[in-house]
Amino acid sequence: MPAQTSPVAIVTGASSGIGAATARRLARAGFVVYGAARRADRLAELGEGIRPLVMDVTDEQSLVDGVGQVLADNGRIDVLVGNAGYGSYGSIEEVSIDEARRQLEVNVFGLARLVQLVLPTMREQGSGRIINVSSMGGRFAAPFGGWYHASKFALEALSDSLRSEVADFGIDVSIIEPGAIKTEWGDIAAESALEVSGDGPYADRVQAMAKGFRRSFANVASSPEVVAKAIEHAATADRPRIRYVIGMGAKPLTLAARVLPAKVMDVAMRRGMG
């Protein structure tokens, strides 16, 4: 295997938003960065210094080949940033079980399989960082995002279990819990909610929620750079935090979920989403 002096990072979901900002920031910090995503044309926009890695987190062979390529090029993997994911919205009654499975495949199982593939190398090195991008929605659940929240709750639990399992091998696990971030995520979530539940028994509430999503993500959401900075800290600090709660709304809402009675939180969620 080739000798490699610079630390090596894989960033999934690197074609836009948080992933793109993270890939660029780690590259500036001296990492050899592999930006992974499904679309090669979007990866080309990342610019020089970031190596494109075409990868579909729902495709086993794609994951195996991607990790194999990074190891063949460098002989090591120091950081995995699990950022690939999307928000599937709509009422639990109306979201198809096929779509629910896809949400979990992308947001949970794809990332979990990638973790399995990089861990043997990290254990042999005696070092590594696994940084999983969850959400403030991994700490509480709002209406019409049941399957999205289920995926993020699962990611939180897996990350907590993993952290204890790998600590003796010199591997740290951090969870990133962004609030509203100015990316494509808000529009995609709003569109999926309207497509699934924009008509029918939940229509009025879903339309209000979608309108609020678009307004918030366009006007008051935080920059992806806020999240990228937290990920850089998790990748480089001597003692990375277990959780990074960052971005618009994240700290007050996760605090509210922790201290408010469930019924009060339910009312607050319903009002906040129109």
pLDDT in tens, 205-262: 999 999 988 888 878 899 999 999 999 999 999 999 999 999 999 999 999 999 999 9
> What phi and psi, each to the nearest 5 degrees, are found at residue 34?
-105, 110
Q: Does domain 8-272 have CATH number 3.30.360.10?
A: no
CB-based contact 228:110 (threshold 8 Å): no
pTM (predicted TM-score): 0.94
Domain residue spans of the chain: 8-272
Average pLDDT taken over every residue of the chain: 94
Tokens 């618009």, located at residue: 248
pLDDT tens readout for residues 47-84: 778 999 999 999 999 999 999 999 999 999 999 999 99
- What is Dmax (Cα atoms) for the chain? 61
* Per-residue pLDDT, 212: 87
Measured torsion, CA atoms of residues 176, 260, 145, 214, in degrees rounded to the nearest 10: -80
**Catalytic residue at 148?**
yes
Q: At 147, list the tokens.
A: 């399957």
Tokens 């909610």, located at residue: 193
Catalytic residue among 34, 89, 148, 202: 148
